[in-house]
């Protein structure tokens, strides 16, 4: 049982003075100190509960600068701030005792879609599904996917370098972040994009100066950095030094910020790279007598180059079978033959630009399954 957070009232002597200073700075968004808002913001999708003293809903990107300038330069340096998007993080990352700044209420505009350049410029509170719905009309999509796509924001995805289904093929969020506008803790704004070695060596912008100094301090020995990161498809430990510094002397500070959980600054705008929507998609449902068989096969089925494999164990299968909505998915899950006992399942998805490639993948799956001999049946559940 999770213990309920109790509000003890504000503990900070700055609690009343800070909102006044913020309004005086021209802050246009909402400032909330009421118990209902603080309690709502005391939870996310983690087991933690931490009530903030103050919740801010910035109305514009300029508001973020006003908040951080006020904190950084006007006598409120003790105040910490936590950016918050959809609050779907599972580790309590969007919770904080001091000031929580929620982007999802107002900073949720898609500022520009450039179909020819295959990029979009967004505010941080844009939700993933909102973006992909807008892009679909242009035949484009933002590839990193999270199960929480109906709520997770691009700011939160950048904060966590998110990726989910499809990551084996498409990679992580940082692979698609072309540039970022980052507001630092003192209100200064940096525009972070990839800089070539020459730009880093001789540029006179604050971004180039920062890149120079970081390259000197962090990337003096690129092999040490490469060696420190384990070879994992989804390595998310610490700052992404590996992708921030190129072996050719280039620097990519947007990769350092992506995955930094808001600790390096507040992302107030992002320019994202996009891909064309695949023309065809097919999914096979492969059934197994045990979860172990399904897991072992999943590794081998990667050789057939699926866009995603999701594995379901017997317990989840059984829970689904007892659900009142089972009749809706029974055909897709079982291929029509009701199983006598719970099964484990691999959902193997392929995406293709043409029919021949998709047919080839599905034929390759048949062969791989016959060769492994672990599955007890499969069928193509979706072919669109
Ligand atoms: C059921 C479930 C399934 C999930 N599936 C996946 C999955 O498949 N893949 C995956 O990667 N994650 C998954 N998650 C975790 C979570 O949904 C993702 O990390 C998501 O990207 C977080 O987005 P959010 O808008 O909710 O961010 P929040 O939770 O609000 O914030 C996440 C982090 O980003 C920071 N942040 C938010 N906005 C900004 C900003 N503007 N500037 C700087 N930092 C910012 C926050 O401070 C925090 O550290 C899942 C969570 C649940 C509950």
157 alpha carbon to ligand 1 midpoint, in Å? 5
Cα separation values, 237 from 52, 259, 363, Å: 27, 9, 38
Q: How far apart are CA 330 and CA 310, in angstroms?
A: 17
261 CA: nearest ligand 1 atom: 49
Label each residue of 163-187 as H, E or C: CCCCHHHHCCHHHHEEEEEEECCCC
Q: Whose CA is nearest to atom 11 of ligand 1?
A: 162
Of 262, 266, 317, nearest in space to 294 by CA: 317
Q: Please report which residue ranges of the chain form alpha helices under DSSP H.
A: 17-24, 35-40, 61-73, 128-136, 154-160, 167-170, 197-202, 206-218, 222-228, 241-244, 253-257, 291-301, 314-322, 326-334, 355-372
Output helix, strand, coil percentages for the chain, rounded to the nearest 5: 35, 25, 40
CA 114 to centroid of ligand 1, rounded, Å: 26
Q: Which residue shows structure tokens 């990551």? A: 167
Rounded to the nearest angstrom, the distance between the alpha carbon of 8 and the centre of ligand 1 is 28
For a ligand 1 pocket test, name from 29, 58, 94 the mutation site with the most ligand atoms within 8 angstroms of its C-beta.
Answer: 94
| Ligand 1 pocket member 81 (CB < 6 A) | no
124, 107 contact by CB (below 8 A): yes
Indicate whether residue 123 lines ligand 1 (CB < 6 A): no
Within the chain, which residues score under 70 in pLDDT?
1-15, 222, 233-237, 382-384
Q: How far is the CA of 258 from the centre of ligand 1 (A)?
A: 12
> What are phi and psi for residue 282, nearest 5 degrees?
-135, 145
Ligand 1 in contact with 58 (CB < 6 A)? no
- The response to whether residue 259 sits with its C-beta less than 6 Å from ligand 1 reads no
Residue nearest to atom 22 of ligand 1 (CA): 156
d(CA 371, CA 191): 52
Backbone φ and ψ of 60, nearest 5°: -145, 170
DSSP state of 127: B
Q: Name the residue of 129, 151, 156 to mutate for ligand 1: max ligand atoms within 8 A of Cβ.
A: 156
User: Is 181 near ligand 1, meaning CB less than 6 Å away?
Assistant: no
Please indicate whether residue 96, judged by its CB atom, sits closer than 6 Å to ligand 1: no
Question: Residue 171 and residue 337: Cα distance in Å, rounded?
Answer: 36
Which domains, ranges and CATH numbers included, belong to the chain?
17-102 (3.30.43.10), 110-276 (3.30.465.10), 280-383 (3.30.70.3450)
Strands 344-352 and 280-288: antiparallel
Residues in CB range of 241: below 8 A, 6 or more apart: 218, 219, 225, 228, 229, 256
So what's the pLDDT on residue 5? 62
Q: What is the pLDDT of residues 135-188, one digit of tens each?
A: 999 999 999 999 999 999 999 999 999 998 888 889 999 999 999 999 999 999
Three-state DSSP at 153 gives strand
Q: Would you state the pLDDT for residue 335?
A: 83
């Amino acid at each position: 049982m999770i213990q309920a957070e109790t509000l003890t009232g504000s503990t900070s002597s700055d609690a009343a003075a800070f909102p006044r200073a913020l309004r005086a700075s021209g802050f246009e968004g909402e400032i909330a100190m009421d118990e209902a808002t603080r309690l709502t913001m005391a939870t996310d999708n983690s087991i933690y509960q931490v009530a903030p003293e103050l919740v801010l809903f910035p109305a514009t990107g300029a508001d973020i600068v006003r908040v951080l300038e006020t904190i950084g330069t006007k006598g409120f340096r003790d105040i910490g701030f936590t950016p918050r998007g959809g609050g779907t993080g599972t580790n309590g990352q969007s919770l904080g005792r001091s000031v929580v700044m929620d982007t999802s209420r107002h900073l949720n505009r898609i500022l520009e879609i450039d179909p020819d350049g295959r990029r979009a410029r967004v505010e941080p509170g844009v939700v993933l599904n909102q973006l992909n719905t807008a892009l679909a009309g242009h035949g484009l999509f933002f590839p990193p996917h999270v199960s929480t796509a109906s709520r997770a924001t691009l700011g939160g995805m950048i904060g966590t370098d998110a990726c989910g289904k499809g990551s084996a093929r498409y990679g992580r969020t940082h692979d698609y972040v072309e540039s970022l506008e980052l507001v630092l803790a003192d209100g200064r704004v940096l525009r972070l994009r990839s800089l070539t070695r020459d730009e880093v060596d001789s540029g006179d912008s604050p971004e180039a100066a920062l890149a120079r100094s970081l390259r000197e301090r962090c990337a003096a020995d690129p092999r040490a950095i490469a060696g420190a990161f384990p070879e994992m498809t989804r390595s998310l430990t610490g700052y992404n030094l590996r992708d921030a510094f190129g072996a050719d002397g280039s620097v990519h500070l947007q990769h350092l910020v992506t995955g930094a959980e808001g600790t390096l600054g507040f992302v107030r705008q992002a320019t994202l790279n996009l891909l064309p929507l695949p023309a065809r998609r097919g999914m096979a449902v492969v059934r197994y007598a045990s979860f172990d068989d399904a897991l072992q096969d999943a590794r081998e089925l990667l050789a057939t180059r699926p866009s995603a494999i999701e594995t379901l164990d017997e317990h989840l299968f059984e829970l689904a079978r007892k659900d009142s909505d089972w009749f809706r998915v029974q055909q897709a899950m079982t291929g029509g033959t009701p199983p006598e006992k719970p099964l484990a399942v691999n959902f193997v998805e392929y995406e293709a630009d043409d029919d021949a490639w998709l047919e080839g993948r599905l034929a390759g799956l048949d062969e791989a399954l016959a060769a492994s001999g672990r599955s007890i049946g499969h069928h193509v559940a979706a072919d669109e």
